[in-house]
Amino acid sequence: MCGIVALVHKEQVNQLLYDALLLLQHRGQDAAGIATQQDRKFYMYKAKGMVRDVFRTRNMRALPGTCGLGQVRYPTAGSAASEEEAQPFYVNAPFGIIMVHNGNLTNAQALREELAHTDHRHTNTESDSEVLLNVLAHEIARASNGQKLEVDDMFRAVRAVHQRLKGSYAVIAMIAGYGLLAFRDPFGIRPLCLGRNADGAAMLASESVALDGLGVPFERDVAPGEAVFISLDGQVHSEQCAEHPVLNPCLFEYVYLARPDSTMNTISVYQARLKMGETLAKRVVSTVPPDQIDAIIPVPESSRPSAMQLAQKLGIPYREGFVKNRYVGRTFIMPGQSVRKKSVRQKLNAVTSEFKDKNVLLVDDSIVRGTTSKEIVQMARDAGARKVFLASAAPPVRYANVYGIDMPTQQDLVAHGRSVEEIRQLIGCDALIYQDLDALKGVITELNPAIRNVDASCFDGVYVTGDITSNDIERLHQERPKNTETDQAAA
């Protein structure tokens, strides 16, 4: 999971890109980078850390230009410790290309060998994004054949890229002297959208909230398999470059990853989470009689809409029982399990009056390892709750994710190989209620009937690209970030 953004404007874009990355910070807190273009020259700065810590005034002054792109990084392959693997990535030939990528290539190792032995291109890191950049650069060189680069050449190159890549990818590349080239994988697993305003500015971003924050009207989502080229004067060209595109967006984006104020694949993330609460209500009633629940309390932040709608459907008081310290990072991307466990109490504090002598239903967006859930249940008991029920707006997470969400191995998933009752005992709650997967899929397909299927692989083990085997999962696990102090899986 990463956040990417790019912009062509009449004014300097450095501050605009910085502001957009702040709005996408939830998609990655490991590293941040910005690159700009002025007079065919690239300027770039990237480093480990959050946006507000990476960029200082001196860095921003060194990023001139009216065209640029940026990324916030959440590593899923390579080395989390290496600043060299922060994005953007750059190659000087052909033309000079800088690129940012959100997603995960499932055939990166095979491509790396092809690049070395067939394409004669060198990669210097373990990042699949550097592999992707070199594949793109090679295909652009072939398509242009040593001549001036035309728009049709770019689209021809993207068609060839689609033929070679497997996995998930939303990509934005800046080509020196030309503009921005963006494309999305043929399954539309990772999000990407386009916006334009009346003064000629054109913008691409992982989520619409970045466009909203900069006052650039949302125009549409980039379609699966589609390529979009934005020239330096703001002209937009697009073409479908995949043979059999089909929209299978990542279900976990709606459950947890995306901001609720974003619109993704024409679906309001907030509305999707409200409907998750409605479908979850049916599951709760079948497990715990509503008259045995005194209050419904969300685990901040992503679960709030689902919890509110659940409370309304059941006619039970909704209460804010946990106060969040906003200056502690999300546990989803905290380093190490021991630090993760400690971070729960640093991050959340219980309001004792909302728990004391009450039966409470806690609502969380998902349960992955179970370590955070166990700690939160104990916090509720320590605050005086008589009974603690726990509901998850997502189904049990039983399988590895290979498309850009750095979840633990299957053996570390609390739901893998366990029944709901066994999970309940491990977490320590009095009742455990999970969302129904078919109902969750129905939420998305109801809100956008054009979506016939979704990537729900972490819930059902069905990988929409159709090329994943158990050996692939083991290999991709080995390619996860190698910094032992940075186990960045969900709690």
Q: Is the dihedral of CA 418, 421, 422, 425 positive or negative?
A: positive
CB 24 within 8 A of CB 214: no
Neighbouring residues of 329: CB distance < 8 A, sequence distance ≥ 6: 29, 343
| Eight-class DSSP state of 407 | P
Q: Is 298 left (phi over 0), alpha (psi -120 to 50) or beta?
A: beta
Q: Is 426 left (phi over 0), alpha (psi -120 to 50) or beta?
A: alpha
- Annotated catalytic residue, options 2, 241, 429, 458: 2
Instruction: Supply φ then ψ for residue 394, to 5 degrees.
Output: -115, 155
Question: Helices 304-314 and 269-285: crossing angle, nearest 10°?
Answer: 50
Neighbouring residues of 45: CB distance < 8 A, sequence distance ≥ 6: 33, 34, 35, 54, 55, 59, 62, 63
Beta-bridge partner residues of 56: none
Residue indicated by tokens 């210097």? 124
67 is catalytic: no
Instruction: Supply φ then ψ for residue 43, to 5 degrees.
Output: -130, 135
User: What does each C-alpha distance from 14 to 67, 141, 171, 312 come to in angstroms?
Assistant: 9, 29, 20, 44
Residue indicated by tokens 């990042």? 127
CB 1 within 8 A of CB 257: yes
Which residues have a catalytic role annotated? Answer: 2
